[in-house]
Structure 1
């Protein structure tokens, strides 16, 4: 039995109007404290990440990837108003960094991929600037992304419930591991 089958089974009980999981005699809603434990990042140890109203400039992405800003502007994409970069471009960059032996940058981009694909998955094979902003806030300022992950979980559950009825397809394999 897959480790994630229970979570997949649980997703069918998500109740959109109540924004929780509803069973015969009780309701279950993951709390902030539970997410702190799941992710392994207590809020008491760092300030929470809160969106500041503006995503990082493309120059920040270029600095993170250690490429020119022109190269980042060339690979960036905009899907339905969500700006970001394709996963394939980030994976190509990882391959080159592995060949060069630049492990610090490799780990930064690998962390960004985890944030963009596992923690904040809005479009398949795409890392948007919102995930980049959250990742940089954690890496550079030590801000805790637990609140954003919890909010994104509910947003994702709501989105798929509205879009597909009660069918939910999700990736949670890294949610239970430490992502800092």
Structure 2
């Protein structure tokens, strides 16, 4: 942890109600799971609820964040989410395109219609406002998913489930509501830079002045990312669950970390942008930069 800090900062995370999403996912027959994965990657894996222990792990991780370095600083090593980490976890490519940015423009009904395989009339009817932001209530997506599953329209079913995951889990904002930003990100098919932007901006924003509060990013993804680097065998893996995460983490050294667990060792990665020595990020919540060059060990470079 950073020196001179005497008290933990208290953080909270979105706790999406995933029951409806689980019911929607159950509509996909085994024959069509491959169709979903081919179109939308492995985002189904992110539909789970964090346990108290999971939240404690993330909460402890955030105490190690260093605003100046833009990463988590442990006694013997540095860690931080890379775009390549998230892309590998979600099975989604990082596309070479203009980054997503928040806009107040009216929803593109025809574009949404094509992406969800619904009629423009149905899309227009389903778009509502919540907190002055347009989007779909999850109940609308659920009802249409069930209707199209009964008719065997699996492209529509998969699209409705995927956009639901984008709005409820990956880019949460309003309870049981998929807002316009999440819909646009779903249509753009390039969520990784925005997911990374959200996690760094939100963590930095809540940590810079040690004020804590709600961390507005996908906590499930951050948790799975962190767990991937921790030892899965040996003494650490067999510690009593009652042992505090702070004690567990302080006992780890660089040699204990699963640096190459993601199978990306030695591959090229995005470590700068043009003449800039770092990478600028644009998230839904705001803009920030991060320093992948400090994290190159996660890509197998010592």
TM-score after normalising by structure 2: 0.45
Alignment match of 1:147 (pick from 193, 202, 222):
193
What is aligned with 1:31? 82
CA distance in structure 2 between the partners assigned to 1:166 and 1:51 by the alignment: 25
CA distance in structure 1 between the partners assigned to 2:167 and 2:141 by the alignment: 11
What is aligned with 1:47? 96
CA distance in structure 1 between the partners assigned to 2:203 and 2:117 by the alignment: 31
CA distance in structure 2 between the partners assigned to 1:166 and 1:23 by the alignment: 22
Report the count of equivalent residues. 167
Alignment of 1:20-169 (within 5 A): 20-23=71-74, 27-43=78-94, 46-48=95-97, 50-51=99-100, 56-63=107-114, 64-69=116-121, 71-138=122-189, 144-157=190-203, 165=212
Could you list the structure 1 runs, at least 4 aligned residues long, displaced by more than 6 angstroms after superposition. 159-162
- Structure 1 or 2: more helix by fraction: 1
CA distance in structure 1 between the partners assigned to 2:61 and 2:123 by the alignment: 41
CA distance in structure 1 between the partners assigned to 2:106 and 2:74 by the alignment: 39
CA distance in structure 1 between the partners assigned to 2:85 and 2:191 by the alignment: 14
Deviation at 1:49, TM superposition (A): 6.0
Identify the structure with bigger relative contact order (alpha carbons < 8 Å, sequence gap 6+): 1
Do 1:48 and 1:147's aligned partners in 2 also have CA atoms closer than 8 Å?
A: no
For each residue in 1:24-66, what CA deviation from the matched residue of structure 2 results, as whole angstroms up to 9, or x when unmatched? 66653212232232223353xx425622655751233344251
Unaligned runs of 5+ in 1: 139-143
For each residue in 1:130-178, what CA deviation from the matched residue of structure 2 results, as whole angstroms up to 9, or x when unmatched? 111121122xxxxx3211111123345467779x8356696516996xx
Do 1:76 and 1:84's aligned partners in 2 also have CA atoms closer than 8 Å?
A: yes
Do 1:55 and 1:133's aligned partners in 2 also have CA atoms closer than 8 Å?
A: no
Do 1:39 and 1:175's aligned partners in 2 also have CA atoms closer than 8 Å?
A: no
Do 2:145 and 2:161's aligned partners in 1 also have CA atoms closer than 8 Å?
A: yes
Deviation at 1:10, TM superposition (A): 2.4
CA distance in structure 1 between the partners assigned to 2:119 and 2:144 by the alignment: 9
SS at match of 2:220: coil
CA distance in structure 2 between the partners assigned to 1:126 and 1:111 by the alignment: 14
RMSD over aligned Cα atoms: 3.7
Deviation at 1:100, TM superposition (A): 1.2
For each residue in 1:90-134, what CA deviation from the matched residue of structure 2 results, as whole angstroms up to 9, or x when unmatched? 011111111111111111111111211121111121111211112
